[in-house]
Structure 1
Amino acid sequence: MNILEVNIEHAGYLEKKSTIEDISFELAENELVGLIGPNGAGKSTILKAILGLLEEMRGKTVIKGKYAYIPEQPTYYEELTLWEHITLVKAVSEDDDDNFFNRANELIAIFRLQDAKHHFPSSFSKGMQQKLMIIIAILNKPKLYIVDEPFIGLDPKAIKDFLLILEKERKRGAAILMCTHVLDTAEKICDRFLLMNNGKMIAKGTLSEIRIQSDTDGSLMDCFYKFMERDQ
């Protein structure tokens, strides 16, 4: 069953000026798909289109179920502590799970934030703020994760812990769309790839399919650069 369906004819930020064109893909349950491309390729515009944040868009996106967005730049309430953010999530989501706060404490321990539990995120490092975003997203139990550059600021252990958690979420049935520049990691964890450049999708499929399309047997990075050379 598809959790996300995207069909965008064109979309952008100014009327009559498209940033992305002819974007079409879907995500199924249990699937992790990597959205790959250089700065300015249109990846963030795709995410905003999916989230309904673009006024200039012709097309349609469908999300079946609850979704969670983990932004590249963490956002939080400056007047709330880490734990107060957790409490707010429970109140807003009306989650009646008796284990909600137990799960929250487990995630706080996994990401080693126990000492910062009652501190304000404005005093956190970028990595700590990112961990808070991840914890909030996971507690929401979404059917779809939309993740924008999740590894920036995270230490190696946190990256490993995050990837293990995402694998558990996939087994639960969640679908994950991950925008990342870390191609070696993406190659190891993603089921399929969407390669972007200059506002258009230049290739999509599994690594094997991408290799055939790029006419190379190399890594995901090798394939991507081969497409970039063609697109110049």
Structure 2
Amino acid sequence: MSNILQIEQLFGGYLPKKPVLKDVNISLRKGEMVGLIGLNGAGKSTTIKHILGLMIPQQGKITINDMQLSEQMEKYRSSYAYVPENPELYNELTVREHLELTAMAYGISKEDYTNRSERLLKEFRMQEKADHMPSQLSKGMKQKVMIMNAFLVEPPLYIIDEPFLGLDPLAMRSLLETMSNLRKNGASFLISSHILSTIEKYCDRFVILHNGQVIGQGTLAELQAGLDIDPHENTSLDDMFHQYITQADTRNPL
């Protein structure tokens, strides 16, 4: 089975010949949830920008559903939905109109739009806010709108950057339950988050980025095997992350 997302030997960044990312290799299979973790400035956002086509690789290749970034851009971009860390809404559109605009942009039928939008509004407790403008919404509610727009599309791949920021506990629960249900139908997720205790429970694998390089990758068991830890010891993702970063800094001091 081919991977939904394949990043091969990626070098990239903002300045020529000064790559932020150095030989990054990441794969994502159908129905898989992968956590992308790292310190601030590790290269997570830069990696995501390259996947989205907002930045062109200096070297290497990125494919989604066997389509390269440089090929069939319209089909490439319709293969994923992206939820940014900071909500970006149109001030002149209501919540419902944002959903309608997304449905039109992606060619979603009226019947599918109605069923999906009503379900999402209910799941995220936004029914009473459906006709409100962004100025009338809290930051958490704005984040819900971004999430609902992404889930409305139902693409094979979701790229989500810090999804839990600003969400209340019930909204977090709705988000995680919705992602779990979509996974059962084959959707894949790449999630960048600092909330390690939460993604530890839901992600199948993890990629640890540090100074633009992948320093650890795999399941919890595989990450633990890469450290000097008793395999029978119950070590949290947070503890393993700390050890991987410490180990990398010891080997390559600044």
Q: TM-score range by the shorter chain?
A: over 0.9
TM-score, normalised to structure 2's length?
Answer: 0.88
Residues 68 and 142 in structure 1, CA contact (< 8 A), matched pair in contact too = yes
Q: Secondary structure of 2:224's partner?
A: helix
Show structure 2 runs of 5+ residues with no match: 66-75, 250-254
Deviations 1:103-158 (A, max 9, x none): 20121111111221111123311110110011111110110000000000000111
Confirm whether residue 180 of structure 1 aligns to residue 193 of structure 2: yes
Residues 144 and 176 in structure 1, CA contact (< 8 A), matched pair in contact too = yes
Partner of residue 87, structure 1:
100
Structure-1 separation of matches of 2:41 and 2:168: 26
Of all paired residues, the percent bearing the same amino acid is 45
Confirm whether residue 219 of structure 1 aligns to residue 236 of structure 2: yes
Partner of residue 39, structure 2:
38
Q: Where in structure 2 are the equivalents of 1:78-227 lying within 5 Å?
A: 78-96=91-109, 98-216=111-229, 217=233, 218-227=235-244
Q: Which moved more, 1:9-18 or 1:53-62?
A: 53-62
Question: Counterpart amino acid of 1:111?
Answer: F
1:181 deviates by 0.3
Deviations 1:162-201 (A, max 9, x none): 0000011101111100000011111110000000111111
Show structure 1 runs of 5+ residues with no match: none
Structure-1 separation of matches of 2:56 and 2:15: 9
Structure-1 separation of matches of 2:155 and 2:56: 25
2:88 to 72, 75, 83: 75
Deviations 1:83-116 (A, max 9, x none): 1111111211111261321220121111111221
List 4+ stretches of structure 1 deviating above 6 A: none
Residues 9 and 24 in structure 2, CA contact (< 8 A), matched pair in contact too = yes
Q: CA RMSD in A?
A: 1.3
Question: Counterpart amino acid of 2:125?
Answer: R
Q: Which moved more, 1:130-139 or 1:3-12?
A: 3-12
Structure-1 separation of matches of 2:213 and 2:129: 42
Partner of residue 73, structure 2:
none
Q: Secondary structure of 2:25's partner?
A: strand
Q: How many residues align?
A: 232
Structure-2 separation of matches of 1:219 and 1:82: 39
Residues 16 and 58 in structure 2, CA contact (< 8 A), matched pair in contact too = no
Partner of residue 3, structure 1:
4
Q: For the structure 1 residues 77 and 8, does the alpha-carbon distance in structure 2 shift closer, same or farther, using more than 3 Å as the test?
A: farther
Q: Which moved more, 1:118-127 or 1:172-181?
A: 118-127
Residues 207 and 216 in structure 2, CA contact (< 8 A), matched pair in contact too = yes
Q: Which moved more, 1:31-40 or 1:210-219?
A: 210-219
Residues 10 and 57 in structure 2, CA contact (< 8 A), matched pair in contact too = no
Residues 36 and 191 in structure 2, CA contact (< 8 A), matched pair in contact too = yes
Structure-1 separation of matches of 2:200 and 2:92: 39
1:56 deviates by 5.3
Confirm whether residue 229 of structure 1 aligns to residue 246 of structure 2: yes
Structure-1 separation of matches of 2:8 and 2:52: 13
Residues 121 and 129 in structure 1, CA contact (< 8 A), matched pair in contact too = yes
Q: Secondary structure of 2:226's partner?
A: helix
Residues 8 and 61 in structure 1, CA contact (< 8 A), matched pair in contact too = no
1:76 deviates by 1.4
Partner of residue 21, structure 1:
22
